[in-house]
Amino acid sequence: MSKHLTVVDHPLVQHKLTLMRDKGASSAEFRRLLHEITLLLAYEITREMPMTTRAIETPMEEMDAPILAGKKMALVSILRAGNGMLDGVLELVPSARVGFVGLYRDEATLKPVQYYFKVPEGMNNRLVIVVDPMLATGNSSAAAIDLLKQAGATDIRFLCLLAAPEGVARMKEAHPDVPIVTASVDRGLNSKGYIMPGLGDAGDRLFGTK
Ligand code: URA
């Protein structure tokens, strides 16, 4: 993808996002809406997948028809809220392999620390789509992408539901080669690092925790 940031302003995406932001949405509704929006965002992030043609015969005649060139994909969820976006992308690309990155913030250094990392083999040959609903400070996203690059990935895209301008700027500085697709860039972060107006803690809302 050529653009660093794509905001998907499709009416269905914006409508569903509003329903998700509303604090009255139940976890079941929130999960379903995140799944549905992910399908629409995944459509956008896969727009420039490499294509080739295949010679086929329709009932009418022969043709060289467009088909995916077959570049392998890895879908990487940033735990835990990223898991709410996994099934949406897998529904469109069922053959994708799946990886997980777990990071927590060290309260003394405020730096992200890895506690889990498991990705498919052959990352250097895969289109890697990283999913995390909230791009807030961008520190954990940038750290996760550092780890994926260390594992060999070179073709990485980042899919999120909401972004803060601070997170977009952090990613552009750390990983200008990683395009971001999101449904909205909100006003900014509050003092606790939450996106405003945002939708609260995506993990808690997805899984009904507090
Ligand atoms: N993570 C969340 O779940 N929500 C925010 O607003 C910021 C980070």
CA 91 to ligand 1 centroid distance, Å: 25
Q: What b/e sequence results for 28-66 when a residue is b if at least 16 CB atoms lie within 10 Å of its CB, and e otherwise?
A: eebbebbbbbbbebbbbbbeeeeeeeeeeeeeeeeeeee
Per-residue pLDDT for 15 more than 80? yes
Q: Is 134 in the pocket of ligand 1 (CB under 6 A)?
A: yes
CA of 202 relative to ligand 1 center, distance in Å: 6
**What confidence tens digit (pLDDT) does each residue in 50-89 have?**
999 999 999 999 999 999 999 999 999 999 999 999 999 9
Tell me how far apart the alpha carbons of residues 74 and 123 are, in angstroms, rounded to a whole number: 7
Amino acid at 68: L
Buried b (16+ CB within 10 A) or exposed e, 144-159: bbebbbebebebbbbb
Does ligand 1 have an atom closer than 6 angstroms to the CB of 201? Answer: yes
Please check whether the domain covering 5-49+69-207 is classified as CATH 3.50.50.60. no
Q: Considering 32, 97, 105, 146, which one is annotated as catalytic?
A: 105
- ipTM of this predicted structure: 0.96
Domain boundaries defined on the chain: 5-49+69-207
100-112 tens-digit pLDDT:
999 998 878 778 8
Q: Is 38 a catalytic residue?
A: no
> Going by DSSP bridges, is the β-strand pair 184-185/51-57 parallel, antiparallel, or unpaired?
unpaired
pTM: 0.95
| Largest Cα–Cα separation, the chain | 69
Share of the chain above pLDDT 90, in %: 93
From the list 179, 193, 123, 189, the residue with the least C-alpha distance to 8 is 179
For residue range 161-208, list pLDDT tens digits in order.
Answer: 999 999 999 999 999 999 999 999 999 999 999 999 999 999 999 999
